[in-house]
């Protein structure tokens, strides 16, 4: 069983898009997947078409002690633990809770035997919620937009991953860096890829995600790209990414 966190402190790099669409692609391959929304903006929840009710159990309740099984929403091909804006208050509310970094890990331990993959969509910041996700994960995927400015924080993020591994979660590994909004015809994009391949030798996914209309449209219908447009370029790219993730070498998989 593998737990993959998607993180980058830079927003708009494709974390949520990758989380939901990789989950859909892995499900298409026959794996049982759970997606967890750990971003108070709730973009993953909305992108998956989850409609919350007043009595819905979300990530917020789970971090405050509710059983994670009660929060699971069954989707068409994968399950989701949704969230809403109340999650933004958890940082202050949990600040004095002992071992708070392990709260998400404890919740996942209640349900992880049901799944082959658990995918966690993190907020675009290195806050306590992101640290919880990294503490619970076995692997990290860093989506990086094919521009130079988003590269600035990637080195810091790698240091943070190293610290979390050292202090809280020795199982944590960097699964890979994923280039998003990529166009191989542009010199800048190719240059960014070269920089990343030097900085993260052997850790840059061969698959790249391009900017395309179908990927942008799918969330507005509450659908992943495979459900929305199975034969589109975006669907093919996430299927290819799923194959890379599935076929990772054992020492990089971080299985439990």
Identify the pLDDT of residue 256. Answer: 39
pTM of the model: 0.92
Identify the pLDDT of residue 151. Answer: 66
Identify the pLDDT of residue 249. Answer: 63
Give the strand pairing for 173-180 and 2-6. unpaired
- CB-CB contact of 131 with 164 (8 Å): yes
In the chain, domain spans: 2-253
> Which bin fits 33, alpha (ψ -120 to 50), beta or left (φ > 0)?
beta
Identify the pLDDT of residue 199. Answer: 86
Of 115, 101, 145, nearest to 35 by C-alpha is 115
At 175, list the tokens.
């699964």
- Cβ neighbours, 10 Å, residue 187: 8
pLDDT-flagged residues of the chain (< 50) = 251-256
String of b and e for 24-59 (b: at least 16 CB within 10 Å)?
Answer: bbbbbeebebbbbbbbbbbbbbbbbbbeeeeebbbb
Of 27, 11, 9, 144, nearest to 80 by C-alpha is 27
Cα(107)–Cα(100) distance, rounded to whole angstroms?
A: 12
Class of domain 2-253: alpha beta
With H, G, I as helix, E, B as strand and everything else as coil, classify residue 140.
Answer: strand
Q: Please list, in sequence order, all residues whose beta carbon lies within 8 angstroms of the beta carbon of residue 47, skipping any fewer than 6 positions away.
A: 16, 17, 20, 218, 219, 222, 224
Phi, psi of 137 (to 5 degrees): -80, 160
Identify the pLDDT of residue 152. Answer: 67
Helix (H) or strand (E) holding 166: helix 154-167
Task: Give the CA radius of gyration of the chain.
Answer: 17
String of b and e for 86-108 (b: at least 16 CB within 10 Å)?
Answer: ebbebeeebeeeeebbbbbbebb
Cα(94)–Cα(74) distance, rounded to whole angstroms?
A: 28
Cα(236)–Cα(248) distance, rounded to whole angstroms?
A: 19
With H, G, I as helix, E, B as strand and everything else as coil, classify residue 142.
Answer: strand
At 22, list the tokens.
């990789």
Q: Is 168 exposed, middle or buried (0-12, 13-18, 19+ CB in 10 A)?
A: middle
């Amino acid at each position: 069983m593998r737990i993959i966190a998607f993180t980058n402190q830079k927003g708009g790099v494709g974390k949520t898009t990758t989380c939901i669409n990789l989950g859909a692609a892995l499900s298409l391959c026959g794996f049982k997947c759970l997606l967890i929304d750990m971003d108070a903006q709730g973009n993953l929840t909305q992108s998956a078409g989850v409609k919350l009710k007043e009595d819905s159990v979300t990530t917020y309740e789970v971090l405050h002690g509710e059983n994670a099984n009660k929060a699971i929403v069954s989707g068409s091909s994968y399950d989701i633990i949704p969230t809403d804006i109340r999650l933004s208050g958890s940082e202050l509310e949990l600040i004095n809770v002992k071992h708070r970094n392990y709260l998400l890990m404890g919740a996942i331990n209640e349900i992880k035997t049901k799944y082959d993959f658990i995918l966690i969509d993190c907020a675009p910041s290195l806050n306590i919620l992101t640290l919880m996700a990294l503490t619970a994960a076995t692997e990290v995927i860093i989506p990086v937009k094919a521009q130079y400015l988003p590269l600035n924080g990637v080195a810091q993020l790698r240091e943070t991953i190293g610290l979390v591994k050292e202090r809280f979660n020795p199982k944590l590994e960097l699964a890979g860096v994923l280039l998003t909004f990529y166009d191989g015809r542009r010199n800048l994009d190719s240059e960014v890829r070269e920089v990343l391949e030097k900085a993260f030798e052997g850790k840059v996914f061969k698959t790249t995600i391009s900017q395309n209309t179908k990927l942008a449209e799918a969330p507005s219908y509450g659908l992943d790209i495979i459900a929305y447009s199975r034969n589109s370029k975006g669907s093919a790219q996430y299927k290819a990414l799923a194959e890379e993730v599935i076929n990772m070498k054992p020492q990089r998989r971080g299985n439990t």
